[in-house]
Amino acid sequence: MSPIALERPQRINGEITAPQLRLVAENGDQLGIVAVGDALRMAEEQNVDLVEIAPLAVPPVCKLMDYGKFRYREQKKAHEAKLKQKQIQVKEIKFRPGTDEGDYKIKVGKLIQFLDEGDKAKVTLRFRGREMAHQEFGVRLLERVRKDLEVHAIIEQFPRLEGRQMVMVLAPKKKGVPPKAKPKAAKEASEPKEPKAKKEAAAKPAAAT
Series of mean pLDDT values for 10-residue runs along the chain (209 residues): 46 90 92 93 92 91 92 86 73 89 92 90 88 83 91 88 89 64 47 52 48
Q: β-pairing, 20-24 with 61-65?
A: parallel
Q: According to the model, what pLDDT value does residue 175 have?
A: 64
**What is the model's pLDDT at position 136?**
85
**Whether the Cβ atoms of residue 146 and residue 168 lie closer than 8 Å to each other:** yes
Tell me the whole-structure pTM to 2 decimals. 0.43
